[in-house]
Structure 1
Amino acid sequence: MQPTDPSCVFCAVIAGREPAHVVLDSPAALAFLDRRPLFPGHCLVVPRDHVPTLTDLPPDRLGPYFRAVQRVAGAVEAGLEAAGSFVAQNNRVSQSVPHLHVHVVPRNRKDGLRGFFWPRTRYRDEEHAAEVAARIRAELHPDE
């Protein structure tokens, strides 16, 4: 983690060097409208420090950061009279800017957005599912 990355467009927005329609300015995060929204009101919530991915965010910053995401989700729904919201985040793959950011997108029934943006699949069988779950569990350290 570093305070800023001079080549990062989100760091430039945070520093005020790039224009943005800011919707939340808090000590933990900055939220602003996405320049290429799925729907009007599509926001990006970014931590103030340059953090490439969720796994790089220090544990003591998770709560304040996701509280900002929660606040933006509520404001998007209420402010745009949306039926709900889609909240999503990518790590590396499909992450167009390598600075942690959560998308908050207003949703309404029959808005044209269909589920996930990628094809769904199934596990080969229950044994395969159990094996995958075990591999993930093995990486979760009880002391964290």
Structure 2
Amino acid sequence: MECVFCDLLKSGTARWVTRQSAVAAFAPLNPLAPGHTLVIPTEHYADIFDTPPGPLADAMAEFVG
């Protein structure tokens, strides 16, 4: 089964807030609240517990002030 996030990165069809080499952010189709944004690493990982510290830090550094 293909990863939905990997599919979005490959197709480029999301409403991108930003796309960078290590991190991407996009607006979900059904936002939970105004401004709801999903931030994902651009490499595939099974879940947050499988994601190395570097990509997690990149995601936080990009969007936290």
Give the TM-score of the pair, scaled to structure 2.
0.79
Selected match of 1:34 from 28, 34, 41? 28
> Which structure features the higher share of strand residues?
2
Structure 1 CA distance for aligned equivalents of residues 53 and 9 of structure 2: 21
Structure 2 CA distance for aligned equivalents of residues 20 and 36 of structure 1: 12
Q: Is 1:13–1:20's contact at 8 Å kept on the other side of the alignment?
A: yes
Selected match of 2:19 from 22, 25, 31? 25
The count of aligned residue pairs is 65
CA RMSD between the two structures: 1.9
Q: Which has the larger radius of gyration?
A: 1
Give the TM-score of the pair, scaled to structure 1.
0.40
Change (3 A) 1:59 1:34: same
Q: Is 1:28–1:48's contact at 8 Å kept on the other side of the alignment?
A: yes
| Structure with bigger RCO (C-alpha 8 Å, 6+ apart) | 2
Q: Which runs of 5+ in 1 are unaligned?
A: 1-5, 72-144
Q: Which runs of 5+ in 2 are unaligned?
A: none
Q: Is 1:31–1:45's contact at 8 Å kept on the other side of the alignment?
A: yes
Structure 2 CA distance for aligned equivalents of residues 21 and 44 of structure 1: 11
